[in-house]
Amino acid sequence: MIIDLSELTDGFCSKLKVISFFLAVIKLKKLKKSFYIYEKKTIESPYLFKDLCLIKNFKIIKLKRKPKDAIIFNPYNYAYALKKLKKKYNIGSYYDCKFDLLSRLSYKNFIPIKKIKKKIDRLNLPKNFISIHMRTTDRALNIKDWLSGIQFPEMIFDFQINNMIKNLPNFIKSRSEIKNIFICSDDKFYKKEVLKKITNDFNIFFNNTSYTTNNLRQTNGMDFVTELFSLSKSQIIISTVGGAVPNSAALISNKSIKVYKWTNNLNYYIFFKTIVILIFYIKRLKYLFLNLINFK
């Protein structure tokens, strides 16, 4: 079985999602537990799965050349490509529920490489803790140029992020009595801001992440996967916009993790979320319409 991840430009966790589809096929059809992976680094997705993760009881072989006949997944064709994958392996709609379940359960087969596991062990995370997940680099909007900056349905304004940081202590206390907090962020500035705000009220844990602030993805692959699997050990995740990282962590985990998205909070900021989603889909319709005209 061949998996081509080279056109997944929307982040590392999208690779986990696509691999989980293939794992579901293998389990459902009782195929050999091995596959070939082809992937490449991009600006949006600069980490390779094979360099950072393993799959329990599976053999992974890295391909050096792009395969010709592989089913290609990209950020815009998940439904279409998944339909092709199911058709190729004769998985009818009757098995959709079982396939979805196997795909979600397959996340528990993902494990970090030994070097990352040792980094996680050195964090000495307690048995019970809450995680703060600050996803901002490609999801944050500045009020001055927010209209052109909307690229996803889940975005967050900079003043919303500041509001989140300001209210984090009270929000945490209103949701749990746990005093242990793990902080992870894809942005160095906001990580420092969170630390300043909550250090006096809680027991703080964090990975000593290296940041390259000029890059779109400020963190490296080792630190990203360290924080992903650390998130999977928490009881609660409080995230700016949610998304693939906390969702993947929840699926990897053996616990039942409650995920809170700050953009879902029922306050006057919900208005801005509605506007962002509306404009995103207007842009998407415009893109599809222009492509249709050009095709004709």
**CA dihedral defined by 63, 64, 70, 75, rounded to 10 degrees?**
100
pLDDT over threshold 70, residue 295? no
pLDDT surpassing 60 at residue 240:
yes
More confident residue, 163 or 249: 249
**Poorest-confidence range of 28-37, 103-112, 189-198, 270-279?**
270-279
What are the tokens at 284? 């998407």
Please tell me the distance from the alpha carbon of residue 12 to that of residue 43, in angstroms, as a whole number: 12
Say what the pLDDT of residue 248 is: 96
- Residue 267, pLDDT > 60, answer no
Q: How confident is the model at residue 232, as a pLDDT?
A: 97
Q: What is the DSSP string of 119-182?
A: HHHHT---SS-EEEEE--TTTEE-TTSHHHH--SSS-EEHHHHHHHHHHHHHHHHHH----EEE
Q: How much is the pLDDT for 154?
A: 62
- The answer for residues whose C-beta is within 8 angstroms of residue 185's C-beta and 6 or more apart is 132, 133, 134, 136, 191, 194, 209
> What percent of the chain has a predicted confidence (pLDDT) above 70?
82
- Is the pLDDT assigned to residue 148 strictly greater than 60? no
Average pLDDT (107-135) is 96
Report which of residues 204 and 134 the model is more confident about: 204
As a whole-number percent, the residues of the chain with pLDDT over 90 amount to 59
Asked if 78 and 43 count as a contact pair (C-beta separation under 8 A), the reply is no
Quickly count: other Cβ atoms within 10 Å of residue 153's Cβ.
14
Give me the mean pLDDT over the 81-100 stretch.
94
Span 87-106, average pLDDT: 95
Q: How far apart are CA 86 and CA 173, in angstroms?
A: 46
Task: Say if residue 70's pLDDT is above 70.
Answer: yes
Which two structure tokens, joined as six digits, stand for 140?
Answer: 């944050």
The predicted structure's pLDDT at residue 139: 53
pTM comes to 0.84
Nearest to 168 by CA among 206, 200, 128, 139: 200
Q: Phi, psi at residue 34, to the nearest 5°?
A: -160, 150
pLDDT of res. 274: 66
**Residues 197, 183: contact at Cβ < 8 Å?**
no
Mean pLDDT of the region 44-68: 92
Evaluate whether 3 touches 106 at the Cβ level (below 8 Å). no
Residue 281: pLDDT over 80? no
Tell me what the mean pLDDT of segment 181-199 comes to.
Answer: 91
Going along the chain from its start, the domains and CATH numbers come out as 2-112 (no CATH), 118-272 (3.40.50)
pLDDT mean across residues, the chain? 86
